[in-house]
């Protein structure tokens, strides 16, 4: 479609083919890496604060505001959140806004594969999960928000029914592996590392990028 045809149809040439990802800040590193590896120059990224996960009720209104603000500037707006504790509210809002989002209950599921994660749910109800982001930000997103820096005796109350910490590794990074192992020790849990790579985040974004 040339510029004349675009003008005749009323479309803004600057937005044709442009895609905006409105994403959780906890996924920024992974999305930037996928963009670079695949040459997705037609995709822009807008991250919302990762700490919204501390207040899941704030995720849906934050996503809605970002979608409404951006939709006139892009052909496609795609929401890179799973349900993330919103109890289906985010999916309902995305449907009302006419935008799509990543499938799954949370990032642990789509990194490992939603079907695989669901199949393990019966036997892994006593597992506590970390991703690369959460390993890097363990103190800021786990230790301090739970008050364990001030009241270490709470550890056994919070984690007494957990058996192991599962580190879902997106990267093969010995430093992150060592830090994840340390996190497990601090929580008094067994340690298991699983290399998931980017999982269904990668395949989902590949489909979005091909539009």
Q: State residue 60's pLDDT score.
A: 98
Q: State residue 14's pLDDT score.
A: 63
Q: Which domains does the chain have, with CATH numbers?
A: 3-107+199-209 (3.40.50), 114-195 (no CATH)
- Stated length of the chain: 211
CA distance 168 to 7: 48
CA 153 to chain CA centroid, nearest Å: 31
Contact 142, 134 (CB under 8 A): yes
Mean of pLDDT over the chain: 94
**Residue of 162, 161, 143 whose CA lies nearest to 152:** 143
Q: Each residue of 162-193: pLDDT tens digit?
A: 999 999 999 999 999 999 999 999 999 999 99
Model confidence at 53, pLDDT cuts 50, 70, 90, reads very high
Helix (H) or strand (E) holding 95: helix 89-97
Q: Each residue of 6-46: pLDDT tens digit?
A: 444 445 666 778 999 999 999 999 999 999 999 999 999 99
Q: State residue 16's pLDDT score.
A: 75
């Amino acid at each position: 479609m040339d510029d004349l045809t675009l003008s005749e149809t009323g479309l803004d040439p600057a937005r044709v083919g442009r895609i905006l990802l409105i994403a959780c800040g906890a996924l920024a590193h992974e999305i930037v890496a996928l963009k670079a590896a695949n040459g997705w120059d037609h995709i822009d990224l807008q991250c919302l604060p990762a700490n919204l996960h501390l207040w899941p009720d704030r995720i849906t209104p934050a996503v809605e505001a970002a979608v409404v603000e951006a939709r006139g500037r892009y052909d496609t707006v795609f929401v890179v959140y799973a349900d993330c504790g919103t109890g289906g509210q985010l999916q309902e809002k995305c449907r009302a806004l006419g935008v799509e989002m990543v499938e799954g209950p949370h990032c642990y599921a789509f990194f490992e594969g939603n079907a695989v994660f669901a199949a393990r749910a019966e036997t892994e109800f006593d597992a506590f999960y970390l991703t690369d982001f959460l390993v890097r930000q363990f103190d800021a997103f786990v230790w301090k928000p739970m008050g364990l820096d001030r009241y270490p005796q709470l550890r056994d109350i919070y984690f007494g029914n957990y058996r192991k910490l599962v580190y879902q590794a997106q990267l093969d990074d010995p430093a992150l592996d060592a830090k994840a192992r340390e996190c497990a020790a601090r929580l008094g849990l067994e340690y298991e590392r699983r290399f998931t790579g980017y999982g269904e985040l990668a395949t989902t974004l590949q489909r979005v990028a091909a539009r």
